[in-house]
Structure 1
Amino acid sequence: MHQDSLAVSKFGLISFRFAFIYFLIYFNPLIYFNAVPGLYWIPQLAILPFDALTFFLNDHLFQIRPQLNQMGGGSGDTSFAWAQVATFLTIAGVGALIWSVLEWKKRNYLTLHYWLCLILRYSLAGIAFSYGILKVFAMQMYFPNLSQLATPLGDYLPMRLSWMFIGYSEPYQIFSGVAEVMVALLLIWRRTALLGALMAVGVFANVVMLNLSFDIPVKIYSIHLLIASMFLVWQERERLFAFFILNKSVLPATLYEKKMVERWQKTGRFVLKVAFFLSSFCYTTYNYYNYFVQYHTDVSKVLEPIQPGIYHVELFVKNGDTIPESLVDSLRWRDVIFDYNGAGSLAANDSSLRMRYGRAYFNYLPDSLGKQVEWRVMNWDSLPAATFAMDFPSEDRMILSGEKGGDSLHLVLKKLKRHFPLTERQFHWISESNR
C-alpha cells in the first residue's frame, strides 16, 4: 500500500512539473506588460526563442507542413499553431523529466502550486472579460447584413453560418457574454474562485463544442481554456467529491489562501487586484463601448444620395459591349448591394475585390456633392478600385458610369423591393403552427 501511494505521489509530482512548465509557457504572464506603456516589447521578445524552436522542431521532427503558416488572418489553428503546441508539449515533457531527476525526493510544491493556480485564474479571468464584454455589447457576432442575407445558405461555410446564427439574436449573445463576465468576476475573488472555475468549465465547454462542430478556427485556444478551467477544478476534487457524491461536510478551501504577513504584501496584493480589474474590466468596457457607439452611429447622411438596398443590374455595358444577363456567366454582374454602413457587394466573380461566398465585397463612399462614388477594397486603401459618376433618373433607379480596373463600365441599376423575413427578428410566445 505504501509503495502504491508513493507511486501515485510521484506521478502527481511529475504531472505537476509538466503542467507547470506547459501552462507557464502557454499562458505567458509576461503578456500583462502589454498594458504598461513602453513595455509591450517584453512579451514579444520572450516569445522569439519559442518561435525559432517551433520552426526548428517542425523542420527536423514534427514536419506538420514543409512551410509553416504563421499568419492565419484570424485563424488560431494554423500549421504554425499546431507545431507550436507540439513544441510546448516537447519542452514541458523534457523539462519535467529533467526536473524530476534533479528533485526526485521533493515531496510537494505548495508555493509553486499556489502561483500556478493564481496565474491560471487571472489568465482565464482576463480572457473571459475580453470576450464576455464584447458579447455584452453584441459586437463579436453581428446581425447578418444585406449581402449575407442575399447569399444562398448552401454557399456558406459552417463557421460563417454559426457566426450569423449567434449574431442574429442579440439576447442570446448578451446572455453568453454575461456568463463569461460572471466567470471572470468569480475567478478574481478567492472565496468564489472554485465556483468561477466550475462555471468556466461549462462556459468554455460550450465554446469548444461550437468550435469543433462548426469548424471555427479557434479550436486550439478554446481547448486550452477548457483544460485550464478543468485543471483548477481538479485541484478541489476531494472537496467536490465529498460534498456532491458522499454528502459530507467539507472544510473551507485553502488553495488560494496565502498569508500575507508584511503590510507591503497586503497592500501590493490589493493594488495589483485593483489594477487588474481596472485594465481588464473597466478599460475593456470603455474601449468596447466606444466601438459600440461608433458602429451604431447613423451614417445615412454621409452615404446620400445612395439608398441602401439590393439593386438588380438591368444593363451592363463593359468597354462599349452590352453583356446580356446569363445564369452561366459568372463575370456579368447580376445585382449590386449597398448596405447601411458603407459596405457593399456584387453577385459575380471579381478577383479585384474581396471574394467571399460567391460575392465580391467592397466599401463605397459618395462625394460631398452626391455626383460621384468611389469603391475601395478596404476602407484604408489610398486609391479607389473603381470610380463612378452617379445619376438618379427615378427614385428606384441608379445609373453608374466610370472605370474599374482599366475597364469602362456603364450600369443601370433598379432597386428591388426585396424583403427578408429573417430581419424581423421574429419571436412568438404562441405558435399555432410550425413555420
Structure 2
Amino acid sequence: MTTTNTLAQPWSPAQKVGFRFALLFFILFILCDPNGAVPLLSNYEGVYMAPVQKLVVWMGTHVFHLTKPITAFTNGSGDTTYNWIVLLLIFIKSVVGAAIWSLIDTKPKSYDRLYYWLLVVLRFYVGFTMLGYGGYKVIKLQFPAPGPARLLESYGDSSPMGLAWTFMGYSKAYNYFTGIAELTCGILLLFRRTTLFGAVIAFTVIANIVAINYCFDVPVKIVSSALLLMVIFILLKDLNRIIKFFFLNQTAEPAVLTPRRFQKRWKNISLTVTKYLLIAYTVFSIGGNVISNMKYGDDAKHPVLYGLFNTQTFIQGKDTLPPLTTDTTRWKRISINSFGSVRITTMNDSTRNYSFKADSVKKQIIIGSFKDTTRKYTFAYTLSKDSILNMTGKGPNGDMSATLKRFDEKKFLLMRRGFHLINESPFNK
C-alpha cells in the first residue's frame, strides 16, 4: 500500500498516545453501541454484550454498592446506569490499552495508515447515523404533532423532554428543515471530497442535538456526545486549514484527498465495490425502515374515536354524579390518543392512563391497565353524527355509563394560530 502522510512531520509522543486512546475508545464505543449505523452488527450485539451485562450488574452491586441491582439495559433511554458504567469500562479499557500499546510499540514515527482508516470508520458511522435520524424527522415520526392529551397538559405539568418534543412536533416545516440538514451532512460524510463540508454541517447539527439533550433532559446524552466527539476528531485533520481560512485570513492549502491504494489492482477494485455496496445496503435498509414506519407518522390514520371528549353526564351504578371539582371518580374528560392509549381525567384533574382498543363493528371499547394486563374494562358505545359518545359498561369503579361530547382540538390556539408573514405587533401569549 502506498503512503500519503496526513501529517508532514513525524508524530509527537503526545499525538501518538492520544491517537491510540482515540482509536480504542471510538472502536469500543461503536461495538458497544452500533446505533443501527453498522450493517448487521446490531444483530449480534446482544450475543457479545451478554458477558458485559453480567459484569456491569456485578460492578453495580460490588464496586458501586448500588442500593438496587441493575435491571434496565438497552431500552428507550440511552443514559441508564448500565450505559454509564459501560461508558466507564470503555474509557478504562482505552486508557489501559493505550498505555500498554505505548509501552510495547515504540518504533512507529506515525500511525498515518491507521489514522486514515479510523477516519473512514467514523465518517461512515456518523454518516449512517445522521441518515437514520434525518429520515425519521422527514416523515415526522420522532416528533409527532401534539395529540389530545398533550394539548391539554399545562407547561408546568410537562417534563422538560415532553416540552422539547411538543416544540419540535408542532412544526412540520421545522422537522423538514432539521431532517434535511441531517440527511445532507450524512450523505456528505460518506465521500472523501465532501467530508470537510459534511463535518462542518454535522458539527452544527449535532451540537444542537447535544444542547437539546442536556438542556431538556433527553436521555440520549451519551450517544449524542460521542457523535459530537467523532465529528470533532474528523475536523481535527483540517484544523490548520480551518484556522487559516476563518480566523487568520490566510490562504489555506488544498487538502490531501489521495485515497489509500493497494499495489494490486484487484484489491483496489474490491475495496471500491465493497464501499458502494455498503453504502447502498445501508441507505436502502434505512430507507426501507423509514418507508415502513411512515404509517406511524403524522399522516397515519387515527384510531377509531381518536380525539378529546368532555363529559356531559356520568352515572356510577344508579347515581348521577354532579360535576364537583373534588370528585375523584367522575370523569371530567377522556383523551383518546394514537398508538392505543387513553388518558382519563377526573374532576379533581388527576389523570390515569390506560390501553385503549375500539371495535367499530361490534361497537365495543376495551380499556386496560398497563401494569396489570388482566384488568380490562369493556364498554358498549355509540357515536352520533354530532359527535356525542355514549359509553356503558363496567369501569374501574364498577358499573357506569357516560355521555361525552367531542371537542375539536383545532380550536386550541396552538393549532389554529398558523403562520403569519406580517405581524403588526408580537402575538406572544
Read off the aligned partner of 2:357 and give its amino acid letter: Y
Q: Could you tell me which residue of structure 1 aligns to residue 198 of structure 2?
A: 196
Maintained 8 Å contact 1:349/1:359? no
Check conservation: 2:344, 2:351, Cα contact below 8 A: no
CA–CA distance in structure 1, aligned partners of residues 227 and 246 of structure 2: 24
Secondary structure of the residue aligned to 1:334 is strand
Is residue 356–residue 365 contact of structure 2 (8 Å, CA) maintained in 1?
no
Q: Report what 2:405 is aligned to.
A: 414
1:362 aligns with 2:365: no
Q: Cα gap change, 1:321/1:231 in structure 2, threshold over 3 Å: closer, same or farther?
A: same
Are 2:79 and 2:222, in contact at CA under 8 Å, matched by a contact in 1?
yes
- 1:124 and 1:413 map into 2 onto residues whose CA distance is 50
Contact in 2 for aligned 1:348/1:360 (Cα 8 Å): no
Change in CA separation of 1:57 and 1:98 when aligned onto 2, cut-off 3 Å: farther
* Matched residue, 2:177: 175
1:256 shift after superposition: 6.6
1:335 to 325, 333, 336: 333
* Worse overlay, 178-187 or 329-338: 329-338
Gaps of 5+ in 1: 1-5, 351-355
Task: Measure, in 2, the Cα distance between the counterparts of 1:66 and 1:362.
Answer: 29
Q: Counterparts of 1:342-361 in structure 2 under 5 Å?
A: 343-348=341-346, 358-361=351-354
Given the superposition, is the C-alpha separation of residues 187 and 323 from structure 1 closer, same or farther in structure 2, using an over 3 Å criterion?
A: same
Deviates more, 1:249-258 or 1:328-337: 249-258
CA RMSD of aligned residues (A): 3.3
Is residue 79–residue 219 contact of structure 2 (8 Å, CA) maintained in 1? Answer: yes
Q: Distance in 2 between matches of 1:361 and 1:184?
A: 39
Secondary structure of residue in 1 paired with 2:49: helix
1:428 to partner: Cα distance: 0.6
Q: Deviations over 1:244-297 (max 9, x none)?
A: 334444443337721233233222222222223223323322321232146466
Contact 2:377 2:396 in 1 (8 A): yes
Are 1:144 and 2:134 counterparts? no
Alpha-carbon distance, 1:54 to partner? 3.0
* Partner of residue 13 from structure 2, selected from 4, 10, 13: 10
Q: CA deviation at 1:383?
A: 7.0
Aligned to 1:353: none
In 1: Cα distance, 2:320 partner to 2:135 partner: 52
Hey, what does 2:3 align to over in structure 1? none
Determine the C-alpha separation between the residues in 1 that align with 2:266 and 2:318: 80
Change (3 A) 1:132 1:85: same
Deviations, residues 141-174 of structure 1 (Å, cap 9, x unaligned): 0111112112222110110110010111111111
The C-alpha deviation readout for 1:289-313, integer Å capped at 9, x for no partner, is: 232146466747x73xx4x443222
Relative to structure 1, the CA distance from residue 84 to residue 339 in structure 2 (aligned partners, 3 Å threshold; closer, same or farther) is closer
1:227 maps to amino acid = L
> Counterpart of 1:3?
none
The 2-side partners of 1:98 and 1:156 are apart by: 49
SS in structure 2 at match of 1:261: coil
The answer as to whether partners of 1:129 and 1:180 remain within 8 angstroms in 2 is yes
Q: Which amino acid aligns with 1:26?
A: F
Q: Give the SS at the match of 1:280.
A: helix
Match of 1:423 among 398, 415, 418: 415
Shift of 1:20: 1.0
8 A contact 1:372–1:389 mirrored in 2: yes
Between the aligned partners of 1:197 and 1:297, the Cα distance in structure 2 is 32
The 1:150–1:41 alpha-carbon spacing in structure 2 relative to 1, beyond 3 Å, is closer
Q: Distance in 2 between matches of 1:267 and 1:273?
A: 10
Identical aligned residues as a percent: 28
Among 26, 39, 50, the residue aligned to 1:48: 50
Where does 1:20-39 land on structure 2 (aligned, <5 Å)? 20-28=23-31, 31=34, 35-36=39-40
- Deviation, 1:427, is 0.7
* Aligned AA (2:22): A
Asked if 1 retains the 8 angstrom alpha-carbon contact of 2:365 and 2:380, the reply is yes
Q: Secondary structure at the match of 2:46?
A: helix
Aligned match of 2:135? 133
Partner of 1:270 in structure 2? 272
Shift of 1:385: 2.4
Of structures 1 and 2, the one scoring higher in RCO (CA 8 A, sep 6+) is 2
How far does residue 342 in structure 1 lie from its aligned partner after superposition? 5.9
Whole-angstrom distance in 2 between the partners of 1:313 and 1:402: 16
TM-score by length of 1: 0.84
Query: For 1:373 and 1:185, how far apart are their aligned partners in 2?
Result: 47
> Structure 1: which 4+ aligned runs deviate by more than 6 Å?
381-384
User: Matched residues in 2 for 1:257 and 1:281: separation?
Assistant: 23
Relative to the length of structure 2, the TM-score reads: 0.86
Contact 1:143 1:167 in 2 (8 A): yes
> Retained in 2: the 8 A contact 1:374–1:384?
no
1:66-105 counterparts in 2 under 5 A? 66-71=68-73, 73-105=75-107
In the alignment, the residues of structure 2 paired with residue 65 and residue 256 of structure 1 have an alpha-carbon distance, to the nearest angstrom, of 55
One of 315, 318, 322 as aligned partner of 1:317: 315
Number of corresponding residues: 416
Correspondent of 1:121 among 120, 123, 132: 123
- What is the alpha-carbon distance in structure 2 between the residues aligned to residue 88 and residue 328 of structure 1? 54
